[in-house]
Amino acid sequence: MRGLALAALLAVSATAAAASQPITKVQLPCESNSQEMSPTGTQLTVQCKDHSLYLVNVADGAQRKLFSSDHRPSEYVFSQDGRWLAAGFPDGTVEVIPTQDNTSSRQWKADSHRIDLVRFFPDGKKLLVAPVDSPGTVWELGDTPTKLATLPVDFGGISACAISPDGKMLVIAGDDTVLRWYDTTSWQKTREYRDFLLETFALTFTPDGKSVLAAGADSRITIFDAVSGKQVRQLPPDAGSSIFSVDVLGTGERALAVYFDNAGGKPPHVLVWDLATAKSVPLNSDPLPTCGGIVGGKLLTCSTDGKTLTLSQQE
């Protein structure tokens, strides 16, 4: 999952790679090919070549080692306000770490299986935890995290999830190829979609919360009405590949999808889809930036030269 998220960020950052304006340079603790930007754009996680993980403050370059190479997480993600970082580990442990102050972190055993997916809810107070080959769970992040809900599937685990912008709706995709909708007030499953034959690897809401985009091994984006769960439209497939991430751009008119070659012989490629016309354009993204994200409507990208990272704003 780590690689998939990185690919998504790389793809986002590639949208305007042609014209970039350097903003600042940051000294890294090590040479790194993999960073992630917090949703606020003020912090970076930096994965060193020995797989140790650091947190770096963009403004002053302050560095903090989060995890050593022998305690590396299998998955990690920032909260939307950037104040927390959640990490899941191969032994099923989850750790939620404050990124900006000395608030105490929380650590607990969420499962006995490797954690493959963690996602904060928009309020930053709840966390979805998805182990491999086991049902997902949702946790209330008090001083002592408590389990709010279990999200069963027919077999396997959860391959993707999306939470509506208002936090009231959760959609999960299972290894069993089924999409399930949950009301996050009652934690009742409200509907499910069983017509996919292949797995879904990417789910996202549009910014208005009205639509859900799903994509995966069938190499195409399927758009659902978020409330009714009905399929609205399906974009053309890109045969021979699988979609591993989808991001909605702007106010929701376009979506960016990262495709991986099923045979593994070709590098990933990126298409930007116009959701209204179902037309796509490929992106030229050579060389790919090492991280990126949309912050305050502006596209920020990273590039590295040795232990120096340059943060740029795309025009």
Partner 1 sequence: MTFTRRELLERCAAFGAVTLATSIPLSALASAWDDAEKQRTPTPFCELGPFYKRQAPNTSMLRSRGDAGMPLALSGVVYDVRGQVIPDAKLEIWQTDNDGHYDIEGYRYRTLLEPGAKGSYAIESVMPGHYPTRVCQHVHYLVTAPGHKPLITQLYFATDPVFDGDPDKNYSRDPLITSRELIRPVVIKGDPKQIIAAVNFDLVLETL
Question: Which residues, at least 6 apart from 142, have a Cβ–Cβ distance to it below 8 Å?
Answer: none
Query: Residue 225 phi/psi, 5° resolution?
Result: -70, 125
Q: At closest approach, how far in Å is the CB of 215 from partner 1?
A: 12
What is the pattern of x (binds partner 1, CB under 8 A) and - over residues 136-165?
------------------xxx---------
Residue 85's H or E segment, with its range, is strand 84-88
Beta bridge partners of 292: 301
Question: Which residues, at least 6 apart from 43, have a Cβ–Cβ distance to it below 8 Å?
Answer: 37, 55, 56, 57, 58, 78, 82, 99, 100
Residues 189-228 that bind partner 1 (CB under 8 A): 196-199, 201, 216-219
How many whole angstroms separate alpha carbon 285 and alpha carbon 287? 6
Q: Is 265 in the site for partner 1 (CB under 8 A)?
A: yes
Q: How many residues bind partner 1 (CB under 8 A)?
A: 23
Whichever of 19 and 263 has its CB closer to partner 1, that residue is 263
The β-bridge relationship of strands 211-216 and 200-205 is antiparallel
What is the pattern of x (binds partner 1, CB under 8 A) and - over residues 276-315?
----------------------------------------
Q: At closest approach, how far in Å is the CB of 128 from partner 1?
A: 19
Q: Is 242 in the site for partner 1 (CB under 8 A)?
A: yes
Q: Is 238 in the site for partner 1 (CB under 8 A)?
A: no
Of 27-35, 57-65, 99-107, 238-246, the segment contacting partner 1 by CB under 8 A is 238-246
Residue 49 CB coordination number (10 Å): 11
Q: Which of 168, 147, 160, 152 is nearest to 94 (CA)?
A: 147
How many whole angstroms separate alpha carbon 243 and alpha carbon 252? 18
- Tell me which of 20, 79, 177, 280 binds partner 1, using CB under 8 A: 177
Residue 103 CB coordination number (10 Å): 12
Q: At closest approach, how far in Å is the CB of 305 from partner 1?
A: 29
Whichever of 264 and 296 has its CB closer to partner 1, that residue is 264
Q: At closest approach, how far in Å is the CB of 134 from partner 1?
A: 10
Contact set with partner 1 (CB under 8 A): 132-133, 154-156, 175, 177, 196-199, 201, 216-219, 239-240, 242, 262-265
